[in-house]
Structure 1
């Protein structure tokens, strides 16, 4: 664990044992950069793209005519960002032993470069991409080509796997499992190749997971072979345009590619060899991403999921509903008794669909000092969970819904409750922010701008709360735009003055406080119309972050 304090380390480990955490290999998300000039001309763009797309492995073609400092600068910054850089080299003719020396030049260059470089500037591995089946001799002299290819591979891996600690990898066509190994016809060529390398990138160039010609069926034999041999597999897909549409996601686009790839782990988790994904290649991926409609992160459309188990039992329905209704923010209540895989699967698919997921918890009694431990238990659970899972499965933030004003003690000892609530919020923020990038947010009744802050009577309590949070969700529970705007507009002005963000929430659940509280009677169509008016009135405020509808279950089942 990364926590500096021993007690937090012990606590996180205890949570792991209690809730079923197990050591999990961090999966790779890789891409290829074939034009080495890109890392000089567009270094910052490359690194920003990697950060945005959670890339942690780059296969970089090395131009050996460039000076070593050219690569050191890029690799140093990539390493600081958590990205490994491996050299990639190859040509179909490298299958011939007559070209073995040319192949070995890259090994010699990388070793010399690493010896002259600092640890954070070093290349971590070398990948071969030879593909001799593109040669005319593949059809006329296949056995000879394969034998020479094997000899070159053996020479390469022996040279790479010496005392330098370099990793060896290969880009491998999925259909080599149909080709027998010369002199050993019972062994598929795929298995022989897999046995030679540390990591195998299976070029599973298809645009769908399922079916007889889908990714899963085409790589199954290689996954089993890698399991048996103790090797690591990355499943590679293609974004470069291909004359065969089914061999690339160029037609389907990045969003569909992300959706399909998000489903891979649940299908492949039984394979210990599964090590992640690779997307071919950076240039085509970047161009395809540029064609995507921009994701409006300044304006959320969110909802709440209170029954945690529904993210398992209704996962597909929730994600389809989110897509249909342009939802890009989900507050999901955490039930610590549920299996971790339930959260991993849901968050991974939601994030692939462009949806932020924030872990949620709360109860009115959480405002009291005696319940501070419950808040910290939630925070530490989320932090431990995020440390154990891949970046694509992590929660974006922690969201509290406390609302102590529903308790009798609020009327009897309001100031005392407020003071305790403030103390708990300060502890919540400090614990959540310690060594993480998690966002903190809360639900807050819009009318709390009329309640003074204990010890600061001139400051509305709502203002104090906004100051603590990354964003605050104001529960402006009214069924007319005019009423909603009236509840929040002054707070928008204050939040703008302190550079804070506000989400405006409305209700769809039946209310016994009056019909004006909720859109239960009016239905979805009228709610959407009124929210459009709210957006039009508030979008001029930089503090306006969007809307949230309470809650998924009521919204989904409400009147049209």
Structure 2
């Protein structure tokens, strides 16, 4: 082999070795004075210490301050495991909110199932409080009535039933856990009349929640800001905080090119976070960002 070819081959192998050893470049962690960053995860972090360690290391590198943990199967059966996760997260300065949600909970016939799930979370958290142990930051309801098969025919009725569901949840949790509600950005275009007053469905949800997580799934800065404008104004008027959620997940559909940072990558995400933060930081209702999801961020291209 000629010397020049051999040198090129060695250089190429060195580059590959460096890539494998170093991985993708990591963005700088967020500063303490920046708006909080939350991260959804549906991985079984309560059931694996190795998975916990990996998440905590990832969160520390990215400046994540809160975990939105999918918890459909955790309570009451896996309370001890969840408790250990809360203790470990608290030791690292991380808050944990538990995410529950089934579209069927919208229906009046499912109200008992909803309340049973909420009581399990409330009782768990109150037991932690009595024991002086780390507690949940909030319970997040991600109930999406538009996923029901009759939404197109019955949207006004289902919207009203959804708001009844939130009222029941708020009543059940009063004096214990804060209630977070995750809502899609397009609910601002759905006017609902209730109690003699008409408001956008998003505004009704903001009114009933202690904090709202707006699923503002757009990947262009102006689109994100347009989506946040009306909910942020409603929240400001009502004295409620709003977290702006952005999507990283990859789905094989045409809309994904406009709703997620999956194809755009880490650099585009970080640039958008900086630019949106610069515009929203002046809003009193703005309470930071949430990214969907940890599992997708792990594999996001540079």
In 2, the alpha carbon distance for the partners of 1:469 and 1:387 equals 20
Contact 1:441 1:473 in 2 (8 A): yes
Q: Give 1:337 deviation, angstroms.
A: 6.4
Q: Give 1:391 deviation, angstroms.
A: 3.4
Q: In the alignment, which residue of structure 2 is the partner of 1:379?
A: 118
Q: TM-score, normalised by structure 1?
A: 0.45
1:326 aligns with 2:66: no
Q: Give 1:365 deviation, angstroms.
A: 1.4
Q: Give 1:370 deviation, angstroms.
A: 1.7
1:425 aligns with 2:166: yes
Q: Give 1:514 deviation, angstroms.
A: 3.3
1:404-483 alignment to 2 at 5 Å?
404-433=145-174, 435-436=175-176, 438-455=177-194, 456=196, 458-483=198-223
Per-residue CA shift, 1:299-337, capped at 9, x if unaligned?
A: 320011223x23332011111111111111111122136
Residue 392 of structure 1 aligns to a residue in which SS?
coil
1:102-501 alignment to 2 at 5 Å?
299-307=35-43, 309-313=44-48, 314-334=51-71, 335=73, 336=75, 338-389=77-128, 390-433=131-174, 435-436=175-176, 438-455=177-194, 456=196, 458-501=198-241
In 2, the alpha carbon distance for the partners of 1:406 and 1:387 equals 32
Q: In the alignment, which residue of structure 2 is the partner of 1:205?
A: none
Q: Give 1:402 deviation, angstroms.
A: 1.1
Contact 1:446 1:476 in 2 (8 A): yes
In 1, the alpha carbon distance for the partners of 2:232 and 2:260 equals 22
In 1, the alpha carbon distance for the partners of 2:198 and 2:164 equals 19
Per-residue CA shift, 1:446-504, capped at 9, x if unaligned?
A: 11111112335631111111111111000110111111001011221221122110000
1:554 aligns with 2:299: no
Residue 239 of structure 2 aligns to a residue in which SS?
coil
In 1, the alpha carbon distance for the partners of 2:105 and 2:32 equals 35
Q: In the alignment, which residue of structure 1 is the partner of 2:11?
A: none
In 2, the alpha carbon distance for the partners of 1:535 and 1:392 equals 34
Residue 269 of structure 2 aligns to a residue in which SS?
helix
Contact 2:97 2:137 in 1 (8 A): yes
1:539 aligns with 2:278: no
Q: In the alignment, which residue of structure 2 is the partner of 1:117?
A: none
Change in 2 beyond 3 A, CA 1:392/1:525: farther
Residue 454 of structure 1 aligns to a residue in which SS?
strand
Question: Number of residues paired by the alignment?
Answer: 264
- What runs of 5+ residues in structure 2 fail to find an aligned partner? 1-30
Residue 474 of structure 1 aligns to a residue in which SS?
strand
Could you say what the CA RMSD is over the residues aligned between the two structures, in angstroms?
A: 1.9
Q: Give 1:362 deviation, angstroms.
A: 0.3
In 2, the alpha carbon distance for the partners of 1:407 and 1:549 equals 25
In 1, the alpha carbon distance for the partners of 2:78 and 2:215 equals 31
Change in 2 beyond 3 A, CA 1:514/1:386: closer
Q: Give 1:406 deviation, angstroms.
A: 2.1
In 1, the alpha carbon distance for the partners of 2:256 and 2:82 equals 36
In 2, the alpha carbon distance for the partners of 1:345 and 1:295 equals 26
In 1, the alpha carbon distance for the partners of 2:132 and 2:291 equals 27
Per-residue CA shift, 1:256-281, capped at 9, x if unaligned?
A: xxxxxxxxxxxxxxxxxxxxxxxxxx
Contact 1:311 1:318 in 2 (8 A): no
In 2, the alpha carbon distance for the partners of 1:387 and 1:471 equals 20
Contact 2:250 2:256 in 1 (8 A): no
Contact 1:382 1:395 in 2 (8 A): no
- What runs of 5+ residues in structure 1 fail to find an aligned partner? 1-293
In 2, the alpha carbon distance for the partners of 1:543 and 1:339 equals 35
Q: Which has the larger radius of gyration?
A: 1
